Every structure is written in structure tokens, then in C-alpha cells.
Structure 1
Amino acid sequence: MASSARCEERPANRLKHEASPYLLKHATNPVDWYPWGEEAFAAAREQDKPILLSIGYLTCHWCNVMEEESFSDPQVAALINDVFIPIKVDREERPDIDQIYMKACHLLSPACGWPLTLFLSQEGKPFYAGTYIPKENRFGRIGLLNLIPRVKELWAHERESVLKSADSVNAAIISSTIQLPGGDMNGSQLDAAFLAFAQDFDTQYGGFGRSSKFPKPLNLLFLLRYWNRTGNNHALTIVDKTLEAMRQGAIYDHLGYGFHRYTTDRMWRLPHFEKMLYDQALLATAYLEAYQVTGHEKYADTAKEVLDYVLQYMTAENGGFYSAESADSEGVEGKFYLWSVKEIKNVLDQQEAAQAIRIFHIMEDGNYVEPVTGEKTGQNILFIEQGADKIAEFEKIRSKLLSARNMRQRPELDDKVLTDWNGLMIGALAKAAQVLDQPQYGKAAKHGAQFILHNLRSREGKLFHRWRGGRAGLSPTAADYSFMIWGLLELYGWDFDPTWLQHALGLHADLVENYWDEKLGGFYLTAHNTTSLLPRIKESSDTAIPSSNAVSMYNLLKLSRLTGNHAFEEMADTISSLLSPRVKDSPLAFPMLLATLDLALSPSQEVVIVGLKHADDTEKMLQALRKNYVPNAVVLFKPADEENPAINKYAEFTEFMSAIDNKATAYVCTNFKCNFPTTDPAKMLESLRTISEKPR
């Protein structure tokens, strides 16, 4: 391949010592890249140059286009090296840098995304922001060959004006990071949020919005809780239609499973093909919860397929989970996933080919439209109608096509292991083990958690953000802590090993010590002792992944109810108050916080099962809980055959609970005041329903 040839011909730049696959991909560019750090900023001051900051990630198609088209081009590189000190950042390694400069982009440009391209002062203050910039003028976009000389002129002759603009943008960024607490939130915020989500819902094709479609599983998690709270069936209809549409659409890989990142159309048929670990985790969770609500096996099947894809293609032998698979193979976006009619007929017999053409909507001139030109390519992306995957021939056709596809060059794998995203996947697998009664998923979650705790933790117990190739490194963010705690709490809910609670409480203590704002509340994204040019921010709104503060609030409420420690709930209330003004103004940006608010406003539901581990009557109790949708309950297990079980240490209120007549016994409590214990799973569920129906 061309990139391999370039690697052989060119000396490596400063990125050669980095661990990120994305940065290493640029290590043989003729651009004199620096990694983010003081060396780059010192060079900018010494050479009196502005900074070009390029932020992207390995599986981003347009990031790869810009690398191939411009950063590998000697003419462009010579211009960049002459005018700038260039810095390259992997946004997945440094979400703190990415979030600050994305704020700058929204202040400076009408269109933002990745690759994110900025010009900075020597102090790191932005004065220009954009996304993909072509080499030459094209599609109404100015090219780098024209833009860079203009910047050189501005820096030489109008620097005062440029720096004044940078100061103004920087001040606006700092101002945007200041959050003052508001009032308490209540059920009216949930009602207002539901109306906003209902209005944003695409009634024709499912999902949210009317153009590009992202999966937005966090929206669905909130809407399921809203349905559970109110009985509003329209909330459930939105979830049903969206989950169905995504599963049938081309955003789903019907041969190898897993979800692509998003589609550029509203019908879910023109995907950007990268597959992200966090999407698989959060979507699997949404399908599992929908299965609990509806009992529809198609949702359980989808969750299993997604998780099986992750275990096959995105899991390291050591137990960690890789970050993503790229959109591109052989330098072409989506090539791995697209089919011509001829290719279909070469793989299948005549009858099977006819069936496949009908099932997958395959056309002679292709059903796939090139995203930039809008022209058909002769290639087809596979999507189905409801029930098509249940016909007798489907599995045979799928298997043959998958075998043929596996002979192609697979998209590039981003094999770095990120603590925060691994926390999400650990949680999804542990939930699947509970809901589906499939222990292999729990074992994978346990293996993943053990890997993070053993390999991405310092001797002092602090987390690292990234592991790759035997190297752990990078300072953790609040998301690393909060997402891992979430995963550990789900893991405790699967095997009831108190060690997971111990680890969760230990990580929470580190999080509070190093990230909590003692004055206004909330967690900063970066630690107190972090030295950085950038202002510290508190994540509030969700993106494709939930904000660290929303997940922390969720964890605090769960920990409060698991342990009986009300200090956790008070801290959660502080986060709620801090974020309330923004939630009231823009509910669509806060689905995770809204789902957590439902938990906060609901009567507490603590269930303690006292029995013999793995005994039939214990398993019946647990399965009754796990097959039903009780999102606001916390479940603890106390082994009846241990004199002083470890759970008593973490949940003192369980100390005097015992089994009745040597049978598995459920204690259903609200605010730690318990109903009469029962050995009947049906009576246990009835007690939970009674609690949930109390006025809120």
C-alpha cells in the first residue's frame, strides 16, 4: 500500500515515540509534527510562529483523507513547516484538549467535527477553526495551499488583530466553563424533556432529527424510564420504532453484526462505517432494557449479536476491549461492507442470490450513494425489512456472504484500550449476563475489569487512561473513574462479589479527592494537580457518550442505596443543582442526567436476597428481578451460609437479615425500611411494584 511505501521512504518525526495508532500513522508524514506538550509551545515562542493544531482519531474517514491528501504531500508539508509549529492530537487519548477546542470551533465556525483543525497563538488561544480542509480549493472550501499563505501574511502584518481575536475567543471559552448552581429539579423537568424528545422524534423513520442519524441510545434509556414512571405509551413507541429501524437499517452490519457510528441520511441507509466500542456498549444496553420492558426476543437477539461481535473482533486476549474498527479498508470508505450484484452471484447459487437480492434490497446499479458526489457507485449496502432475517434461508445466505467477506482486507483496528470506554463495555456485558442468563458475558466483563484494575492502575491506586502494546499511560479523566465505577456496579449485580464494591468505593474516593469542586460542586474533567494551558471544565451535556458528571450522579445514587451512606446522595443532589439551569434550557443535551433524575426522584428500592449462592431458589429470586424492568432497584446478595459475610462491611443494614426456613429470602426495602421478608418471587415483585407506585 502507498502508506507502507511512505513509511519506508521517510524519516519519522516526533510522533514516532507515541503509543496512539492515530499519531503513529502520522509519524512518517513530512509535516514536522509535535505531540501536545511544552516542547511544542516552547518551539512556537522560540521560532515566533503560530500553532497548527490538528485533532482526529484513527477510524475517522475524513481524518484519513486529510492525512493522505495533505499531510503526506511534500508541498503542503513544506508550507505547514514554514508557517506553523504543527501539533497532532488523538482526541480519544486527550478528550480534555478535544472538548476545549471543540468549544472554540463552535464559537468560530458554523460547522464542527473531525478532523478538527485550528490555528492557535503561542499561548494556545485559537483564532481560526475548521474541520476537513482540502489540499486545494474544492466544493466551496478554501484549500490549505491558499489558506496557509494568508495566515502567514496575517501573522506577519496583522498580528495584533489576530491576537486580539484569540483573546476574545479564549475569554468566551473560559466564560462557558463557569457553571453556577440553580434550583432543585423535579418531575416537571422530566415531562418537559419528554415533550422535547417527542418533538425531535422522526415519526416516519425512527430516531431523532430529520437529516443525519446518530443512534442516541442515551435518549432511549431515558424514554424507557419515563414510560416506566408515567405509563406514557408514546415514549415506548419512540423506543420501539427507533430500535427496529436501526436493526433493519444499514447502520447495522447484517453479516458480522455490530453498529456503525451514524448514517448521513434519515432512513438509516448511508452509514459512516466506523464501529466504536462505546456505541456497541450503550446500544447493547438499550436493547437489553427494551427486552426487559417488552419481552421481544428480537431485542435480546440484537444485544447478543452486538456483544458477540465485540468479543470476536474487539477483545484482546488479555481481556481489554479495543477502541474501534475503521471505516476504511484499502483506502476506500466502506469497501469491506459493500457488494456488487456480480459479487453476490459469485458467492451464492442462483436461488440464494435471488433471495439475497430481494432480502437486502440489492440493485444492479447499486443502492449505495457516494456521500460527497451523491452519485450511485454500482455498490450495495445491505439493509432489510422487518422479519426478513427470520426466513428459512437467511442464516445460510448470511453465513456464505460473511465467509466471502472475511476474505477481504478487514478495516484497520484501533487497538488501544481506553479505561472509560472499557467501563461502558464491562457494564453492558455484566448487564447482559444478568438479563439473558448468559454467564459467558459476565466472565468477559470480569476478565475486562481485572485487566483494567491490574494494568491501568498505578501503585498508588490511581487509574491511567490508555493502554497499548504493554504500555499504560496518560492522566485519567473523571470519565475514566465514573465509567469504570458504573461497570463495576453492574458486575457486582451479576456475581455479587463484594470485591467489585470495594473497588468501586476506592475509585470513587480517588475521584472525589482529585476532581470534586469543593466550592460549587460537580467533578472537573481533569484532576486538581494537572498542569495545563487549558482551563478546567466540568462535563455537563452528553455527546455520543454520557457526561462524566451525569454518570457520577448515577453512581452516587446507586452507592447510597447499596451502602446506606446518605453522603453519596447529598453529593448527587449537588451535581443535580449545578446542572439544573442547563437541563431546563436544553433538555435534549442531557438524556443521561434525565435518566438519573428519574432515579433520584423515585422511591428508593433496595432488595436484599439472603440465600445460598447458585442454589435453585436463589437463582429463581434473581431471575425474577432480572427478567423484569426495575431500573431503580438496587440488589444485594447475602450468603446465608457465612457467619460474617463481606457484604456486611459495605452494607451494614444487611447485618441482621437472615434466610427464613433455610430458603432464599427477599427483603424489599424503601429508604432502608423493609417489608416483611418473603420466600416467594411473585410477592417480592409485588412489593417492588407497590413501592414504585407511591406518589412521587
Structure 2
Amino acid sequence: MNRLASATSPYLLQHADNPVDWWPWSAQALDEAKRRDVPILLSIGYAACHWCHVMAHESFEADETAAFMNAHFVNIKVDREERPDIDAVYMTATQAMTGQGGWPMTCFLTPDGKPFHCGTYYPPTPRHGMPSFRQVLTAIARAWSERADELRQGATKIVSHIQEQTAPLAQRPVDEETIATAVSTLRGQIDPGHGGFGGAPKFPPSMIMEFLLRHYERTGSAEALSVVELTAEGMARGGIYDQLAGGFARYSVDAAWVVPHFEKMLYDNALLLRCYAHLARRTSSALATRVAAETAEFLLRDLRTQEGGFAASLDADTEGVEGLTYVWTPAQLVEVLGPEDGSWAAEVFRVTEEGTFEHGASTLQLPRDPDDTARWLRVSTALLEARGARPQPARDDKVVTAWNGLAITALAEAGVALERPDWVEAAVSAAELLLDRHLVDARLRRSSRDGVVGEAAGVLEDYACLAEGLLAVHQASGEPVWLTQATLLLDTALELFADDEVPGAFHDTAADAEALVHRPSDPSDNATPSGASALAGALLTASALAGPDRAGDYREACERALGRAGTIVAQAPRFAGHWLSVAEALLAGPVQVAVVGPDAATRSGLLVEAAREVHGGGVVLAGPPEAGGVPLLADRPLVDGNAAAYICHGYVCERPVTTPQRLAAALSTPIRQ
């Protein structure tokens, strides 16, 4: 066992018995490189990563390769999910040097941590124009022994280039014209046959879908809604969605959503649950409603930890084979179901003799809902039971603060919108866990495992996503404690992560965090909201829920941050999905609905209607008038002794309504054409 044996990260533990003398990232590791005057070999990956497993088996488990690594390098292994700050710094370097990035990421650094050569996966033998890993190791070791000073100088220039390229963007307003241009651009980039954007590989565009749905709600744009519905149906009926157990894989290797890269990530499923739930409440789509419910159940069944949080991911591989748990042949269907049902299932799920995956196996798709619902339920139940007897993918059970924040938001909002109080209860349990275990001396930690919190400090997205989740729980429960805790996190984030020299800009690491060769600050949205856009969204929500003494400050901070992202929104809207969602909510007010009534029963009708009809990004909160610690309910009395709903857009409020019908009419009208 090497130095990773005591790690809490499942990914690091996967490498604990490698013959490579791995170090975790630490000052001691860098000091060792300086003492030996050798380069650092930094390998970054994550537990669910297929090609990380491949490279580990091919190279890191090979005694001869490991011996060379140990002799010529200090070898450091990093879990990108546990240390997103380190990953961000060296991913920027990798993309700058190679034009692309990914995991496993392989970087060679000077002893003080500056990168001079970066890549991703290297095969054990030369392949497809790629050098072998041993060739790369040999070349780097020789170069260091012969011209180390030249490599050090080059690394210094690379760091300077990265700092220049990642400087804060100039302010640019995000207004109606910017939004309209973004919608037009996205409409022109949509895959008209399958939904989504671009070709293969294709990733779920959850934040873009959320933005376009909000745009439709605010303006009535049928064009925006059509993009959402096309993409939502394409994914839900494809192999990227688990047709038996619910939940989405990370991405599709093809453009038609047929063959997934099989790992299931918490963040994808949280974001997609939120989006499908919002689509379901807005359109009453049976497909969206079913997918939202199944995705929520996947989170609760397969990712929920014993402590009440949510695990990071399920592995892409099972016993070293990608997709082993999930794919089927026609013969396997017949074996489980018998000839008649097996043949029917093959037709329903598009399982062919040729196969859609590898070795004649197929992923399961559902191009249309079967006419015989009872038969489909019987068949799918039998297949899921049989699949459960197969070897199962490993689970990375560390609880990541930011991703749990996304899950808390999704479960709370979906639970209210689709009237599932059990989902809200799950959100509350996760929120309690994070505040109890991850909040240490008023500062967040990045992750925990088995209830034991890790050492890595929380980054901006942790504070922002958890704050947004707590605000969602505050709305769902009406309890003031969640608002208090959320605003404390936001105040801490504003203090620790703001760029002191550039108003509206934010760093991803705290001012007192470990100093890396570059302080990361990436405002673009990718698979998850950027830390800055997540913070802007949480600030805007808080401005609609907090009292008048803080609301203005939070709104102004949101507007400054949004302006700093205006260039991304205008030039690359596909990488600004969450920013665009924030902009839509801001243009809508955001909408505030306060439902007051003496008890839950009297408020119920208005609350259900408000949750169904409120514009995306708006807030809904119900409780007795003048409930202590709940500013949204202050100065909003009953109307003639009856329950009432108060609707406001920003700082402008309408007359209260007392019937669900009038509330629906008031909320369903587009705000601006």
C-alpha cells in the first residue's frame, strides 16, 4: 500500500495498492520534489471515469512502468471532485497546451507546481498517432536531466499566459436584446432530429433547457419551448436514460442519445430532475412527469447515503467492463421473459440482433410509450429484477457539498411542484447533514464520506449551491432557520471569494485558501453552474426572500456578477446556461408569491396553484401572516379573514387574490412579449 491508503476519496483508494509510490496533493509532496530536484507527475481523475480505470490498469498497475515513475518523478494523484481547484488550474493548462482536456489528466510540473507538459490519457503502446505512456515518461525524464532550466522558464511563461487568459471579463449588460440573440443562436444550433446541441459526444444541456423554459414562461415564446420539449423527449426516450431504473448517464457517445458513457453523476441527475419537474408543472407532460419521478426515485434509492446525503456517482464500469450491468441481447430478454414477452420487449426497447452497443448487445430505448401499459410494467419489473442479480457498478459514496446543494434544490422544488412531500423531506435531511458535518467553524468543507468530513476546503460553488438549496428548503417548509443559514453562507462567500479589484468578479477559491500557481476563476457554465453563476442565482433568490435590510444588497451583487458574465452570454450562450436562467429570473422580477392563511389547509389550494404556475426562478412561500423570521410574509394580512396570495415582480406588487383561479390567471400571463 502506498500513501493513498489513508485517503477518504474512493478514487484515491482505488490506487492505494498500485506499485506507483503515489502521494496525495500536499506541501510535503512538493517539498519532496524540491529535495530530489525531479519533476512532479500529476494524475487527476475521478472514481466513475472509464478511461481513468483503463490507464490505471494498463500503466499504474504495471511494475516496470511504476518503477520508472518512482525513480524519475514525485507522483501525485488527485480526485478532481475532491479538489476542483487543483483540477481547474491544470485543466486550464492542459487545454492551453493541447487544445482539449479530459480525464484522466496527466500533467508534468516543476517542483514548485508549474506545468510544462500536459496531456490526458496515454496508451501503454503507441496507438493512433499517440505516443505510449512509457515514451512520454522517458522523454520528460531525459528533458529534465538535460535542460531543466529551459523547462522551468517555459513553465513560468505558461503560468503567466494562463493568468492573462483568465483575467476577469469587461462589463457587458445582459438585457432583452442579449437574451433574444441567445435564444436565436441556440435555436440555430439545435439538432432538429434528436434535440440537444452539437454532434457526438452529446451532453445533456440541462441549464440551457431551464433557461429556455424560463424564457417561454416569461414571454410565451413557442420557439423556446419547442427546443426544450424536443431535447427532453429525445433524452428521455434514448439509451442515455435508464429505462428500467430511472436516472441519466453522463453523456451519449453518439448524437442520437443511443449509447451512453455509463457513469451516472449526482450533478447531472439533480439538474435534470429540476428541469423535467419544471417542464412537467408547466406543460402537464406525462413523459416529463414520469421522468422527474423516476429520476427522483433513482436519487433516493441508488445515491442516497446512510447519513442522508447523496453519493457522487455510479461507476461507468462493472468489473472492468463498461455497460456490463445495463445492456441486453435478444437472447437475454427471452431468457428472462420467455419467447413471447422477450420478443415484444426487444421491439419495445429496440434491442436488435446486431446490437446498438458492443458485441451484439443493445442499450434500452423507448421510442414510444407501449399501448399495453400493464404488460410494459410487468416486463420492465422483471427485467429490473434480473438486472439486479448482475454485478453492479461501484458507487463513489463521498458526499460533495455543491452537488448535494443541487440535489437539495431539485428535490425541494420538484417535491413542491409535483406534490411529493417525501422528496422535500429528503431535501431537508440532506440539508441537515451538510450543515451538521460540512460546516466547520463557519466555513464549508468540500466533502465527507461515511459521515466523516474531509480536509479540503469548500470552493465558491459549494457555498453558492448549498445556499440555493437552503433557500429552496426555506420555501418548501416555511421554516426561517434555512433562510438564516443561507444568508450566512452568502455573506461568507461575498467576503471570501469576491475579487477585491474587479467589482462583480469572483474567484473560485477563498482568499485564505491554499495558494496554487494560479487562483482559478472560471465564470463559464459547463456540466454544472460555474461558482459565480451559482452565486448570482442564489443572491437573486435571497433578494426575493430576505428582508428589506439585505434584499437590495443581494440584488445589486447579483446584477454586478451578471454584467461581468455578459460577454460569455453574448458570444457563447451554450456555456452560459445558468447565467441566462439568472437573467430571465431577474427580468421577471423575480416573481414573488406569498401565500398567507391561518393553517395549512386554508393555504393549500393557493399554494398548489402558485407552485404550478410561478415563473421559473420565482419564489413561493406559504405560512401564517407575520410568521416570525419569514420576511416574505411580513405585512401581508388575510383578506376578509380568508387566505390570500400576494404576487410581486421585483419591487412592484399586485392586489392580493383569494382564489386559485385568479392566482393562476395572474401568473400564467406572459410578463413581456
Tell me what 2:593 maps to: 607
Correspondence 1:670 to 2:649: yes
Letter in 2 for 1:547: S
User: Any unmatched runs of 5+ in structure 2?
Assistant: none
Tell me whether 1:531 sits opposite 2:494 in the alignment: no
Structure 1 residue matching 2:70: 3-state secondary structure: helix
Indicate the residue corresponding to 2:232 in structure 1.
Answer: 243
Aligned to 2:53: 64
Per the alignment, do residues 571 and 361 of structure 1 end up closer, same or farther by CA in structure 2, a change over 3 Å counting?
same
Q: Aligned residue for 2:445?
A: 464
Cα drift, residue 381 of structure 1: 1.4
1:418 is aligned to 400
In structure 1, which of residues 377, 381, 389 is the aligned counterpart of residue 363 of structure 2? Answer: 381
Please name the residue that 1:324 is paired with. 313
2:16 to 9, 16, 27: 27
- Alpha-carbon distance in 1 for matches of 2:558, 2:511: 20
One-letter code aligned to 2:449: R
Aligned to 1:659: 638
* 1:586-605 equivalence runs, <5 A: 586-605=572-591
| Aligned positions of 1:223-242 closer than 5 A | 223-242=212-231
> What is the alpha-carbon distance in structure 1 between the residues aligned to residue 634 and residue 396 of structure 2?
47
1:327-406 matches, within 5 Å, as: 327-369=316-358, 377-388=359-370, 391-406=373-388
Deviations 1:246-280 (A, max 9, x none): 11100011112111111111011121100000111
Q: Are 2:624 and 1:639 equivalent residues in the alignment?
A: yes
1:442-470 deviation line (CA, Å, top 9, x unaligned):
11111111111111111x22211110123
| Most deviating of 478-487 and 220-229 | 220-229
Structure 1 269/687 Cα, relative in aligned 2: closer, same or farther at 3 Å? closer
For 2:497, which of 492, 515, 520 is the aligned residue? 515
* 8 Å CA contact 1:289, 1:629 repeated in 2: no
Conservation of the 8 A alpha-carbon contact between 1:123 and 1:533: no
Alignment of 1:540-555 (within 5 A): 540-555=523-538
Note if contact 1:516-1:524 (Cα within 8 Å) is conserved in structure 2. yes
Match of 1:572 in 2: 558
Q: Deviations over 1:71-101 (max 9, x none)?
A: 0100110111112111100000001111111
* TM-score, with structure 1 as normaliser: 0.93
Deviations 1:39-78 (A, max 9, x none): 1111111111011110000000000111111101001101
| Count of equivalent residues | 668
Q: 1:248 to 1:670 in 2, by over 3 A?
A: closer
Q: TM-score, normalised by structure 2?
A: 0.96
Q: What amino acid does structure 1 have at the position aligned with 2:74?
A: I
When the two chains are superposed, the root-mean-square deviation of aligned CA atoms in Å is 1.7
Shift of 1:209: 0.5
Deviations 1:121-175 (A, max 9, x none): 1121111111111112123211112221111111111223322321221111111
Matches of 2:659 and 2:331, distance apart in 1: 60
Q: What pairs up with 1:42-191 in 2 under 5 angstroms? A: 42-191=31-180
Tell whether 2:469 aligns with 1:487.
yes
Cα separation, 1, equivalents of 2:360 and 2:216: 44
| Paired AA for residue 636 in structure 1 | L
SS at match of 1:284: helix
After superposition, give the CA deviation of every residue in 1:375-427 in whole Å (9 maximum; x if it has no partner): xx122211121223864411111111111111111100001001110000011
Question: Sequence identity of aligned pairs in percent?
Answer: 35
Distance 2:237 2:381 in 1: 18
| Amino acid corresponding to residue 529 of structure 2 in structure 1 | P
What displacement does 1:226 show? 2.0
Cα deviation 1:517-570 (Å, max 9, x = unaligned):
233133321111113223222230011101111111111112112223211111
Residue type matched to 1:217 in 2?
S
* 2:6 paired with 1:17: yes
User: Is this contact kept in 2: 1:606–1:672, CA < 8 A?
Assistant: no
**3-state SS of 1:543 partner:** coil
Equivalent residues of 1:638, 1:647 under 8 A apart: no
Q: Deviations over 1:590-624 (max 9, x none)?
A: 11001111122233432221112321x30100111
**Partner residue in 2 for 1:279:** 268
The letter for the 2-side match of 1:655 is: A
Single out whichever of 532-541 and 382-391 deviates more from structure 2. Answer: 382-391
Q: CA–CA distance in 2 between the matches of 1:694 and 1:137?
A: 59
User: In the aligned structure 1, how far is the partner of 2:19 from the partner of 2:581?
Assistant: 48
Residue number in structure 2 paired with 1:685: 664
Matched, 1:561 2:544: yes
Separation in 1 of the partners of 2:314 and 2:14?
A: 15
Q: Tell me if structure 1 keeps the 8 A contact 2:239–2:259.
A: yes
Following the alignment from structure 2 to structure 1, what is the Cα–Cα distance between the partners of residues 627 and 220? 40
**Alpha-carbon distance between aligned partners in 2 of 1:47 and 1:593, rounded to the nearest angstrom:** 46
Q: CA deviation at 1:36?
A: 0.7
2:472 counterpart SS class: helix
Farther off after superposition, 628-637 or 343-352: 628-637
